[in-house]
Amino acid sequence: MNTTLQKTNPETAARPERKEYVLPEVNIFENRDGYVLEAEMPGVNKEGLEVLLEGHELTIVGHRRHAPLEGEVIFRESHAADFRRVFELDPAIDTGRISASMTQGVLTLTLPKSERVKPRKITVTE
Amino acid sequence: MKLVRLQNSTVPAWPAFGRLTDLRDEIDRLFDSTFGDFARLPSVFSGWTPAVDLIETKDNVVVRAELPGMKREDIEVTLHEGALNIAGERKSDRKVEEGGLHRSERFFGRFQRTISLPAPVAADKVKADYKDGILTVTLPKTEEAKPKQIDVSVS
């Protein structure tokens, strides 16, 4: 399955410290030009986002903007922990051209395939 | 879903803000309420129950809901008989090629949450703000519902 993006085991992935994280929900699409990864990280803005690349291992970290919770909390379902998830990238991805955008708590990563692996249409000449 | 204590409220019978719903929305709501909590069981139905926080301060009741990736116009906030209703539809405009979907964990479609408010609120002063995928609804308490400090002179 080296042609798809795969999540690595969080236990074996390098961790700077033992800290609790929430796994963001993701959608991953592939088309001819590359992959698109969408990750849900409510409460995270551009400033709180980290996208780290080590070889073909991609780590996304989202630090939540801490809005002060004053008063009596009657119930709380949201998590306080930051988001983190690690992906093993398809080697066909041109890691130098990865781009990211953050809109209303959703990270969109565009991961283009390098030119040499893209399917190429060859015109047959007489 | 967590339950909070119900309280009679001084909120008018119909919300002073919000919007009139069309027939389609009304049918969706009926469908939602028919299934109730049953529809929220993820193992039975694939649905979405956005995480909600309920906070009470001296002057306000604050409801925060995690709604990443929405458009403002697709979020419906209504107040009815002491309960706040947050509903909406998350849409995806992404076209997916056949066999092109590697992972699909995000939910798209309609959702709804109803939160019983712990204190009567002034319906005409409710404010809603949507930022970084979090909806924050601030509902000022009515004057009667605010804690009062009464000075008692001791002779």
Q: Report pLDDT digits (tens) over A86-106.
A: 999 989 999 999 999 999 999
User: How many Cα atoms sit within 13 Å of A39 on the Cβ side?
Assistant: 27
pTM here is: 0.72
User: Can you give the pLDDT at residue A51?
Assistant: 94
Q: Are A48 and A65 in contact (CB under 8 A)?
A: yes
Interface predicted TM-score (ipTM): 0.77
Q: In sequence order, what are the residues at sequence separation of 6 or more whose Cβ sits closer than 8 angstroms to the Cβ of residue B111?
A: B47, B48, B49, B50, B87, B88, B89, B90
Higher per-residue confidence, A122 vs B66: B66
Q: Do B69 and A79 touch (CB under 8 A)?
A: no
User: Can you give the pLDDT at residue B4?
Assistant: 44
User: Can you give the pLDDT at residue A61?
Assistant: 95
CB-CB neighbors (< 8 A) of B56 in chain A: 71-72, 74
- The C-alpha atoms of residue A76 and residue A67 are separated, in whole angstroms, by 14
Q: In sequence order, what are the residues at sequence separation of 6 or more whose Cβ sits closer than 8 angstroms to the Cβ of residue A122?
A: none
Q: In sequence order, what are the residues at sequence separation of 6 or more whose Cβ sits closer than 8 angstroms to the Cβ of residue A78?
A: A42, A43, B51, B52, B53, B64, B66
Strands A21-22 and A82-88: parallel
Closest CA to B103 of A25, A35, A28: A28
| Residue B61 DSSP SS3 | strand
Cβ atoms within 10 Å of B142's Cβ, excluding its own: 16
User: Can you give the pLDDT at residue B103?
Assistant: 86
- Mind listing the pLDDT tens digit for each residue in B28-80? 343 343 333 443 344 344 578 999 999 999 999 999 999 999 999 999 999 99
**Given a cut of 50, is residue B141 above it in pLDDT?**
yes
- The C-alpha atoms of residue B31 and residue A95 are separated, in whole angstroms, by 46
User: Can you give the pLDDT at residue B94?
Assistant: 81
pLDDT band, very low/low/confident/very high, at B124 (cuts 50, 70, 90): very high
Considering chain B, what percentage of its residues have pLDDT values greater than 90? 47
Q: Do B4 and A75 touch (CB under 8 A)?
A: yes
- Mind listing the pLDDT tens digit for each residue in A31-87? 889 999 999 999 999 999 999 999 889 999 999 987 667 889 999 999 889 999 999
- The C-alpha atoms of residue B140 and residue B10 are separated, in whole angstroms, by 13
Pick among B94, B98, B116, B132 to test the A interface (most A CBs inside 10 A): B132
